[in-house]
Structure 1
Amino acid sequence: MSLLSPSFYKHLLSNSTDLLSVMDENGKFRFLGDSIRSILGYDPEELVGKSVLDFIHAEDLPIALDSLRKVLGEDKMQVPPIRFKSKHKGWRWLSCTGTNFLHDPDIAGIITNSRDITETVEAESEKDLHQAYYISLFQEHPDAVFSIDRNGYFRTINKNFAIITGYSAKETLHQHFLKVIQPDEAAIAKAAFDLTLTGETFSNEIRIRDARGNKRLLNLSLLPVYINGRVEAVQGIAKDITELKRSQRLIKEQAKQLSNLVESITEPFFALNSEWRFTYVNKAFCSFVGENCDYFIGRIVWDVFKGIESSKFYSKCHEVAETNNTQYFEENYALNKDLTLRFSIFPSDGGIAVHFIDSTAQIAIQRELEKLSLVASKTSNGVVIMDATGKIEWVNDGFTRLTGFGKEEALGKIPSSFLQGRDTDPLTSLRVAEGYKNQRYFSEEIVNYRKCGEKYWVKVDVSPIKNATGDLINYIAIQTDITEKKKAEANQLKLTDDLYKHNLNLQQFTYMVSHNLRAPVANALGLSGLVKKLDKEAPQFATALDKLHTSISQLDGVIKDINSILSARDADKSLPREPVNLNKIIQEVLDSFVDELDEKEASVNLQVDGSFEMTSNRAYLYSIMYNLVSNAIKYKATNRQFELNISVIKDERGFVISVTDNGLGMDMQLVQSQLFQLYKRFHPNTHGKGVGLFLVKTQVEAIGGKIEVESAPDKGTTFKLLLGAKHV
């Protein structure tokens, strides 16, 4: 068969729907097929010599870099979809395959085959978006939403279905819908369901019985669900209108009561129609004016109160009639200038209604408050005067200096709505709210925020102000900045904590000196005495000198470790860390007990990979293992050979060091809560101070690890050290 001509391949590359290109190992284009014109709008010459990375979307660059790195080590790989900058169409999604031909002298590059999948990606994204909308609409719908199969069994329900009916998904799914229907309405519900299966929609009210046995009224809508032209399921939406119906009944009852209530209002009230004629007056108004109620009905208000055309009351009445906007104002009574009336005028049934109170006495109280305000304005503390609902009526200059909020910004607001913030304690906020609700004096310390966003501590003293009849009129709050006091308290707590930690460190180091130096010093003393008695020419003399040298070397190592730790502590640094070979340090600990282990004919089994190494504090690791081995020897059983097993395993979390003996053991139910406490001992017949395990736990936690214990009386004990691989 003859070879295809070069023109054939050129024609193939020019008309391919895929983009073929060749890049070097750095991602620079060496060749691009002509299809790049139709796919991305570039001429091949525009991109040759340029890096593909310059055209990749910033968010996709890590993918592109990782793919380029991987293809250099592989023959072929599929690159996840990435965005490539088009010349005229913005960003286009490409699906790429890279094949490594760098080793081929005829190509010496990476061949990429790219396909424009923008429409597919956008379609999938749009599909996911629609699916997300549907799921959100289904699950978050405020009403109960559900679906039922053709046989009448629930297939899906949303969370509000369970809230409304009281039945959980487990109790509902695959159950027949008649389970929740009120028995006397089962026939109606079944008929509605059958009607929906024919393709009709249903909407009506229906009663159910919830899981607690309570009757509830639902506004139910059923919709057919078509699949391939056939109704395969029914989707329903049920709105609980139990309370709505109850409210409607209450409204009717309350309307009747309101009619009686208006008649019994103790403050003056009357209504006027569009012709300014009285249509209603209550007894309080008649009593205020001094006329019989029948005198007013049907008469024009301006004929009854002559000569008030220049009053604010006259102009405000006409303004309400024209704009339908309620008006509130105060004015001296036209027929008695010594009285000040506070009016509320609002539109009502084509006319207006007027309500007013005699505020003369309240104004006098207000003037007294203004005098108090004058005094309050001169204090450095923040002073806030609020009305009976807790809204600010006045603040002093001290409040502005303290919070940064001006008077105009604070008026009409509740202090907590703009002064409290993220770090304000919710429980304190609740106590403040309760204090206002109880209308009693209260004092709280709370975190507030200045206008600039700065956090500060304030002591708030709130006093309610009541009139002679005991009715609440105002609140007065005094705010004192206690930020510096709180800082001093925090510093004191920190100082106390630092002192505690310092003393704990001193205790640890003291114990390390007394325990970790004890074995090598004792060995050195014993060997030095032995050396004096031996003949220098005797073989035992050289052996004793070697052991003496070993003990002194161990002593020197412990001293160096302790000095290193003390230096780090004095410099206020973290514990020094270095690479530690676990097998070597455990062997050093065992060497320090070699005489005792030999004397007790102990069976020691050490299972530690010689390559196990971790970055940690060497002195602490030595001290931990020393104490665990020492405890195992100290609490060995007398009726059997002493066995000591030490193993180290490694996993993705780090290292697990296990120290297991067959000694006396402990009853964990009895000692669990006290096991690692200072000066606690559990074998009174055995010598010890009860500080070893306390030190072990403290040191394990200091290097970022955990310790676990398993033990049983007369069975033995296992200590497990869980140490992280990197930062222990």
Structure 2
Amino acid sequence: MSLLPSDFYRHLLVNSTDLLTIIGEDGIYRYVGESIEPWLGFKPEELVGTCAFDLVHPDDLPMILEAFQQIATCEKMQISPFRYKTKYDGWRWLECTASNQVHNESIRGYITNSRDITETIEERSRKDLHQAYYQSLFQEHPDAVFSLDTYGYFKSVNKQFFQILSYPVKEMLHAHFTEFVHREDINRLRDLFLQTVAGKSHATELKVVDATGKVKVTHITLLPVYLRGTVIGVQGIAKDITETVYAQQLIRDHSEQLRRILDSVAEPFFALDADWKYTFANQAHCNFLGVTPSYLEGKNIWELYPHMARTEFFRNCHEVVLNGKPAYLEENYPLDDNITLSYSIFPFEGGIAISFIDVTAQIGLKREMEKLSLVASKTINGVVIMNPDGSIEWVNDGFTRLTGYNREEVIGIWPSKLLQGEDTNPETSNYIRQKYQEQVYFTSEVLNYRKSGEPYWVNIDVTPIKNEENELVNYVAIQTDITEKKKAEAELIKLADDLYKQNLNLQQFTYIISHNLRAPVANALGLAKLVNKVELGSPQFNSILEKLELSIFQLDNVIKDINNILSVRDANKTLPREKVNILSIINEVLHPFQDELLLNKASVRLNVDSSFEMLSNKAYLYSIIQNLVSNAIKYQAPERPLELSISVEKDTRGYEFNVSDNGLGMEMQVVENQLFKLYKRFHPNTHGKGIGLFLVKTQVETIGGKIIVNSAPGVGTTFKLLLGANHV
């Protein structure tokens, strides 16, 4: 049985996935399709006769009302997605197409065809949220994060990657990873990369080469990136572990070096754990006992040599374990009364260390000391032996050559009193004095003076020498001339500083020439054209002349400021500063904008004490405020009048400027890392070069200040300036 046409259309509308309505010119529903009930819970008769806009979300209502006005002037239009209230107080996202059928005698209204896209909107929102989290994890990760395609070419790198390789991001993108890997590790990393593309994660250490040619060690994690079950790329995390690896290697080297040193020293030395078992014995100890190190390792000393249990050495070892204090004693060796040993017993975590010497071998020790003395005399470095009170006891020939003093002149004098002078850093002197008092080894760089008065830099290594009773016997100081090294360092620092200041001042001068002259010149030109169009002697003519004179006066002030900036181009000069009344300079900035502010119906609120004055560079301060005011006008929100607020507060540290507006605003999480960079623009529909905020930050920092930004889309932007402690 076939359906009647009316039944056919009714069933079609009921079961349609779209919602069909007719809205009159007065905004009242004249017809609502039956498919609305499974969508929104309403029966058609509940809505017919009601206002179609009552259930639109308040945030979306202005857009819907504007669209309703526009459809009256066209035949058909697509309306942006909006939220519509359900019968049970929920909200659903709809997309709608409206057709103007007001002139159709059968309809007399607007036909709307709506579709529920809530799931699509929510899925898009979830994807955006996931993408935001991913971008944050990628960009803000403390380690270098990167992605590669399946061929090994870089697709993206975060900012931390620059810290490792020092290559600009644009040079990294689309480059192959093998271009940065040390040749020793290329084949190994290529194999790991292919395994990762095959679906297996890897973590490894490898060497890379940065832009300067320096080899660094990194820890790399490679992870396959899947899309619908297929690997589409590789995600990587790299951490610079150069210092850690070198430090670990240094520790191993030092440990091995210490083992070798202990193994090679003439004095027998060994260590016991908490169970009195050997953990280390140097060759001298093994030779003394006539055994091998492997024979002693892991053996209990008292079980190996039970006769030692009846000695003072046995008793002192146990006392050291109990009280944690070192012990020193001399005792005849039980197996040979003709040998007297001098023991030193030291506690450490987990055991004790023992060294001893055959006191009968003092002659051999004396000969060793004579050899050391000969070496000290012939070395080019200055060697000083001091008494426990710090006075000089002996110096080598290197010291006399280095300082110009002979031995007779320096004996009994403290090195600091003899060699330090007026430009010696007091903190360094105090540090040296403190270390002497602590009787510990130390090293330091210090400015000394020769006998001739000539200054020179030395690196000193001072070692306290103590006897078996831990009493201070001497200090041994080795002085190394590092004058040329310090000169080279100072010259490099000065050169870098001079270049930085010169470049910075040139940037500021260029900016002031191109920006600060523009407003008064343009104003003067406009007034000059007007003066020929009004009657001579009229009130309007006199007003124009007054404004023209003011513009020329402002132009003269800018030129004076430029002359001040020119004096800064010599990097050896400091930035000129003068007493500036803060309210006056803010008013000078605002004056050229008065007509534009009036035209835009903008309101300006100032909260600045007229007595506030500070020592600053007037040209820079003017430029900073002018830029921020100009930006507030340029990026004002089109839907509301501009509200500009400038306030200044004074505290013990200086002045806090706040320049706020209710303009377009910015998403700080998106622009935060790019905000003050050159040629970065965040409102593409607004004219600009993207250099203003870069120059503002540079100028603020040049006059010793700091800038902080807080902004939100649709709310506005606040720039906070913290300017110095030089208030008057």
Larger radius of gyration: 1
TM-score of the two chains, using structure 2 as the length reference: 0.40
TM-score of the two chains, using structure 1 as the length reference: 0.40
